[in-house]
Chains A and B, each alone.
Chain A
Amino acid sequence: MIWDCFVYFALVAIVCWMVGAVAAWRQSGKVAIMATSLGLCVFAVYIAMMWMELERPPLRTMGETRLWYSFFLPLAGLFIYARWRYRWVLSFSTLMAIVFVCINLFKPEIHEKALVPALQSPWFVPHVIVYMLAYALMGVAVILAVYQLFFVKHASEKHGEATDNMVLVGFAFLSLGMIMGAVWAKEAWGHYWTWDPKETWAAITWFAYLAYIHLVRSSPRKHRKWANVMLIVSFCLLQMCWWGINYLPSAQASSVHTYSMQ
């Protein structure tokens, strides 16, 4: 079974990403970009193999979405590094990716072939991938917020600016994921928005990040501390939306979004 050889691909990818992270700290940009890209390629090959083996996109179970998450984190880190050359960003993204790879290694979820008819739609792949990308960016942003709040005495506004840029791009993806979900829901279930628990929590998350964006637009320096706190709260809300509702009594019975629990 394809899941059994995950460990080998994951190890190679992680080693590449770690090499990239170290290279970024040492300011050797080319090595950092090449090593990270190589790790991403290895990981992408595994995802492609899994896709072919399952005969459906591996996007349904929590384990599968974590797979994409651990792929998109270094990808997001790579883009940010390539654009702004922040030394720390690859270390963060690598660390987060390792955490998610480890969860998948030690707590893999059942992977079956069956895809219920509602999920057989051209919207399925872009909807989930865009959301995973948004989650990855928000993940990097929240780590930055924690770093500024608890680990730096006099945070320069440079970090704040990086956080804001990441949230902006993450928010754009969050919006696109939600819009695609709405259009898909209209095709599959007859209405674009029914306040299903997953949708309710998606709205909560969206408005929370919207509040952040509006807070930091005018005088970011003055409100940086509160903005960082907001980012941590927003990220917790995002977790509720992603997997938390699976454990929520009010959602369990009524949500049509609980495929991953089957």
Chain B
Amino acid sequence: MWNKPWSLKEGVAIGGGLVLVGLLLQLFAGPVDWDVFAWPVNVIVLSVLLLLLGTGFLLRKKLYAVQFLMSWKAVVPTLGYAVLLTIVMGLTWQVSSESEPADPIGFSKMLSFWPFVLVYVWIALMAGWVAIRQMAYFQFRCIPSLASHVGLFLLLVCGSLGSADMRRLKMYCEYEQPEWRALDSRQMIHELDWTITLNRFVMEQYEGEAVPKRFASEVEVVTRDGERVRATVEVNRPLTIDGWKVYQYGYDQMAGAGSRYSVFELVRDPWMPVVYVGLALLAAGAVGLFFVSRRSVAFEGEGVRP
């Protein structure tokens, strides 16, 4: 082992080392606290990450490890670790983001479990480096692969870093009472600079069925500038106001159609556009895969090593 060129064995060892480092961090530093990454820390972290990718790529001829991380021998074992850790997540009961893990190791709060986080960061780094290489040695037939790598990088990095800036609040609106306050998951009150007034709650029922067919709230929104907007909020049809999305969340289930209040969920996610760019790139990469779905054509990138 560790004689160049490295093989799958070294890939497995590096991934294992990463998990080990993660376990030590978990033991001594405790679970990952995502709130730390709130603006502007997430932008700083993202810049450092991009800088690391750039310098790592420029120095790749001196740093064999960087070259190795761009190869399938590093990628396949790391994906294997990601699959294993995510299976543990899928098999264990997960606590909410406000709670402490329910088990001594931290499996029950996998999103804050250091080995899990490190492995996914590692995957993002690999995707980033391969994307840079594919840009540096551009070939038309690599476009689907390039789009997929950039997309995956954006999704993993900006999705997780952005989650610290995301706000999810609940607003309880009573009939004809303007409401501007909402509760977060810790039951803290947040005040907004616009109001919602519930004019009417509507509900349609399926005949002889327990589940509702449709429920919706007819509301009037008054923005900070005094602009009045009338709209209907219902499931699958959120309302957008001033960077917030307003979702129909609940109603008085005992009263059903006669509910005198409506519950809205307010969501603000400033990083969403970046994540959507990632999703679009990944989709474009997937569509591109159809056209190059011959193995010999689809597999590229590594052949153009300098």
Interface size of B by Cβ–Cβ distance < 8 Å?
54
9 A-B pairs with CB atoms under 8 Å apart are: A117-B235, A172-B286, A176-B283, A190-B245, A195-B94, A195-B111, A204-B90, A217-B298, A237-B83
In the assembled complex, how far is the CB of residue B46 from the closest CB belonging to chain A, in whole angstroms? 18
| CB atoms of A218 and B72 under 8 A apart | yes
The interface of chain B, by Cβ under 8 A from chain A, is 72, 75-76, 79-80, 82-83, 86-87, 89-94, 110-111, 159, 166, 168, 206, 209, 211-215, 234-238, 245, 247, 265, 267, 269, 272, 275-276, 279, 282-283, 285-287, 289-290, 293-295, 298-299, 302
The interface of chain A, by Cβ under 8 A from chain B, is 112-118, 120-121, 161, 164-165, 168-169, 171-173, 175-176, 179, 182-183, 186-193, 195, 197, 200-201, 203-204, 207-208, 210-211, 214-218, 220, 237, 240, 245, 248-251, 254, 262
**Chain A contacts of B294 at CB under 8 A?**
165
**Chain A contacts of B272 at CB under 8 A?**
186, 192
**Chain B contacts of A118 at CB under 8 A?**
235-236
**Chain A contacts of B265 at CB under 8 A?**
190
| CB atoms of A250 and B295 under 8 A apart | no
| CB atoms of A116 and B211 under 8 A apart | yes
| CB atoms of A120 and B214 under 8 A apart | yes
| CB atoms of A188 and B79 under 8 A apart | no
In the assembled complex, how far is the CB of residue A186 from the closest CB belonging to chain B, in whole angstroms? 8
| CB atoms of B83 and A218 under 8 A apart | no
**Chain B contacts of A251 at CB under 8 A?**
90
In the assembled complex, how far is the CB of residue A131 from the closest CB belonging to chain B, in whole angstroms? 13
| CB atoms of B86 and A200 under 8 A apart | yes
Across the interface, B90 reaches (CB within 8 A) one of A114, A200, A220, namely: A200
Give B77's nearest chain A residue, CB to CB.
Answer: A211
Across the interface, A204 reaches (CB within 8 A) one of B83, B213, B214, B283, namely: B83
**Chain B contacts of A164 at CB under 8 A?**
295
